[in-house]
Structure 1
Amino acid sequence: MKDFKTLLSSVRATENNNEYTVDIEETWLQGRTAFGGLSAAVIVKAMLNQLPYDRRLRSLAVMFVGPVAAGEHRIVLRELRAGGSVTHIQGEIICNGEVGATVSAAFGKDRPSSTSLASPIMPQVAQPETFDAFPFIEGITPTFTQHFDMRLCSGSLPFSQADSADFSMWLRFKEKGELDVPALIAIADVPPMPGLNMIKHPGVGSSLSWYLEFPSQSVNTQMSDWWFYDYRSQAAGNGYFNNYATIWDSNGQAVMFSRQVATVFEK
């Protein structure tokens, strides 16, 4: 079983300009596809190889187009523009000749500014160890979740037919190592989507699109550090959920804002 760092090291440049390969391992799947955070992370990993050191990821927009199965796939990049402060890049992961996911990302330098607004304050919550861990149940729990430690703080578990889609949780990688941008992207997409907790088994949910913003530099430095998630659904109907989240590091700093359009199939 490959850990995240080992899988990420399989992102390698080819002889073709702006093209890479990646080897997806089966323990990182969610059903028949790699979980969305991983697909986005490997594309951004390729992007980082082509950027100046002073340009930090500010935002990314992901479209989940088709399945990204286990095996070797191509990553193709296209630089849209490299300005004085911001670089825009698009990337695709190509699986058996078809697009699996696309990423549009903006990387920008820090700029001098006289304006500053405080980020949202993290809710008061007990420490992770006071909550029960999500169990990994082979054949029932998504395969990739065995790589993470999740603790539900509020709200309901998936398929519990709850009255509300909203929930909060603590989450971290089970592996150790230095945190980097691809790991940050991956961990942002680990929790079950809001809405799965409102339907009954064997319903299915998946992301259609995902937007992620990075308002500040994380002070977390290790993959084993905890993250706190506040996930909410803004609207739902006709098989789609419009969800959003704020993600704080263990020091209470808001590090990521997330928006998601998700599909739900009730059986």
Structure 2
Amino acid sequence: MMDFKALLSSVRASEHANEYTAYVDETWLQGRTAFGGLSAALIVKAMLNQVPADRRLRSLSVMFVGPVPAGNHRIIIRELRVGGSVTHIQGEILCNGEVAATVSAAFGKDRPSAVTLTAPAIPSVAPPDTLESLPYIEGLTPTFTQYFDMRMCTGGLPFSQADSPDFSLWMRFKEAGELDLAALVALGDLPPMPGLNMIKHPGIGSSLSWYLEFPSEMPKADMSDWWFYDYRSQAAGNGYFNNYATVWGADGNAIMFSRQVATVFEK
């Protein structure tokens, strides 16, 4: 078993320009592929080696193309344009010579502005200490979930045939240590997607594409700190769900906005 920080530390520059290697441990799989948030985080970790520190992540677009199995993989980074304020950059993880996931990102400097709009406030919900942790059940829940603590606030659990796909929960890593940008990205893909809670077991849900926006600066936080995730479906049909979410820190500040197109296979 390897914790998340160990996996991020496996991202190392190779002898080829703009190329890195990364390792995925088998305990971080969901089925035959790595947890999607991990795949994206590994690519972001490589990107951060090539982006100036004064440019923070503004948006991130992920395409989940194919499975990322356990083992060693290559990450290829390509700078599309480095402007005076914004760096556009792409990355992809290759498994057995085939593209398995791609990330396109925009990193930008702060600009002077007279306009400030406050992000939505965190809803009034039960604190995490008053809620029960979702159990890790070997052979039933995805393997990677053993590394996280999730506590449902509202909505139905996966495969509960709930009336609504919408739900909310508190979430955090079980390990301690400084929370960096790559770890924050991984948290954004942690909860089960809306729609899984409307079908019966067995069923399968999978992200097709995923988009993140970061409205505020990366906070100083520990990996064991709590984050509140409000996850909703805007439309669904023909096996596809159009989902959106907001993630807040325990201090009430919105840190991520998410959009997702996901597929649900009912059996």
Say whether the fold is shared (TM-score over 0.5): yes
Structure 2 letter corresponding to 1:175: E
Structure 1 letter corresponding to 2:195: G
SS in 1 for 2:6: helix
State whether residues 219 and 251 of structure 1, in contact with CA within 8 Å, keep that contact through their aligned partners in structure 2.
no
1:80 matched residue in structure 2: 80
Aligned residues between the structures: 267
SS in 2 for 1:208: strand
CA deviations over 1:117-139 (Å, ceiling 9, x no partner): 01001100121011110000001
State whether residues 181 and 218 of structure 2, in contact with CA within 8 Å, keep that contact through their aligned partners in structure 1.
no
CA distance in 2, matches of 1:235, 1:78: 34
Query: What is the percent sequence identity of the aligned residues?
Result: 76
CA distance in 1, matches of 2:56, 2:79: 15
2:234 matched residue in structure 1: 234
Given the alignment of the two structures, is residue 253 of structure 1 paired with residue 253 of structure 2, yes or no? Answer: yes
- Output aligned runs, 1:52-201, within 5 Å: 52-201=52-201
SS in 2 for 1:263: strand
SS in 2 for 1:145: helix
2:35 matched residue in structure 1: 35
SS in 2 for 1:156: coil
Q: CA RMSD in A?
A: 0.6
1:210 matched residue in structure 2: 210
Residue 220 of structure 1: CA displacement? 4.5
Structure 2 letter corresponding to 1:151: R
CA distance in 1, matches of 2:250, 2:21: 34
2:51 matched residue in structure 1: 51
Residue 51 of structure 1: CA displacement? 1.1
- Alignment TM-score, normalising by the size of structure 1: 0.99
CA distance in 1, matches of 2:77, 2:8: 17
Q: Once superposed, which parts of structure 1, at least 4 consecutive aligned residues long, lie more than 4 Å away?
A: none
SS in 2 for 1:192: coil
SS in 2 for 1:39: helix
CA distance in 1, matches of 2:266, 2:53: 46
State whether residues 220 and 250 of structure 1, in contact with CA within 8 Å, keep that contact through their aligned partners in structure 2.
no
Structure 2 letter corresponding to 1:188: G
CA distance in 2, matches of 1:126, 1:32: 35
Structure 2 letter corresponding to 1:219: P
Residue 193 of structure 1: CA displacement? 0.3
Residue 221 of structure 1: CA displacement? 1.2
SS in 1 for 2:144: helix
Structure 1 letter corresponding to 2:47: M
CA distance in 1, matches of 2:141, 2:208: 20
SS in 1 for 2:182: helix
CA distance in 2, matches of 1:219, 1:239: 37
Residue 219 of structure 1: CA displacement? 3.0
Q: Does 174-183 or 123-132 show the bigger shift?
A: 123-132
- Alignment TM-score, normalising by the size of structure 2: 0.99
SS in 2 for 1:163: coil
